[in-house]
């Protein structure tokens, strides 16, 4: 009987520990990503989802805000922002290189919008 109670207690404690870790697994982040159109949206979201640890990514065209759900144990938001800048879109932490920006389709060039 003692063995049964001890086994149940160990199972309870173990399952509680795993449940607590599960709660901390996913976090949300929001940040601005420069872009202008549906092609930008698709490119930004696909690049985001290719980053290990990103579970969901949705970029809003009017606000230029991306919302991501990610596992902070697997990825830092800094890495995600770098990946997005690498495909030609500025983020708060990283600017796209001239080469990656200039490789975007003409409808996706957002620099002119900032000037006006």
Distance CA 33, CA 71 (A): 20
Tell whether 5 is covered by a domain.
Answer: no
Tell whether 77 is covered by a domain.
Answer: yes
Tell whether 6 is covered by a domain.
Answer: no
Looking at per-residue pLDDT, the higher value among 2 and 95 belongs to 95
* DSSP assignment letter at 106: G
Tell whether 66 is covered by a domain.
Answer: yes
Tell whether 80 is covered by a domain.
Answer: yes
Signed CA dihedral, 50, 56, 60, 63: sign only: negative
pLDDT band at 25 (very low <50, low <70, confident <90, very high): confident
Q: Mean pLDDT across the chain, nearest whole number?
A: 86
Tell whether 93 is covered by a domain.
Answer: yes
Number of domains within the chain = 1
Reported as a single tens digit per residue, the pLDDT across 82-116 is 999 999 999 999 999 999 999 999 999 998 555 43
Mean pLDDT for the stretch of residues 62-75: 97
Tokens of 106: 């003409």
**Judging by beta carbons within 10 Å of its beta carbon (0-12, 13-18, 19+), is residue 40 exposed, middle or buried?**
buried
Q: What is the CATH number of the domain that holds 70?
A: 3.30.70.100
48 close to 84: Cβ distance less than 8 angstroms = yes
Tell whether 53 is covered by a domain.
Answer: yes
pLDDT band at 47 (very low <50, low <70, confident <90, very high): very high
Where do the H-state alpha helices sit in 26-115? Answer: 38-49, 77-86, 98-102, 111-115
Tell whether 15 is covered by a domain.
Answer: no
Structural domain range at position 85: 26-115
């Amino acid at each position: 009987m003692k063995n049964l109670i001890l086994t149940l207690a160990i199972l309870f404690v173990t399952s509680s520990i795993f449940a607590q870790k599960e709660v901390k697994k996913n976090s949300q982040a929001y940040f601005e990503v420069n872009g202008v159109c549906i092609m930008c949206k698709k490119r930004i979201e696909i690049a985001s989802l290719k980053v290990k640890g990103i579970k969901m990514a949705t970029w809003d065209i009017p606000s230029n805000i991306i919302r991501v759900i990610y596992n902070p144990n697997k990825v830092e938001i800094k890495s995600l922002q770098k990946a997005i800048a690498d495909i030609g879109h500025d983020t708060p932490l990283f600017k796209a290189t001239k080469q990656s920006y200039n490789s975007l389709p003409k409808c996706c060039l957002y620099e002119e919008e900032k000037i006006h």
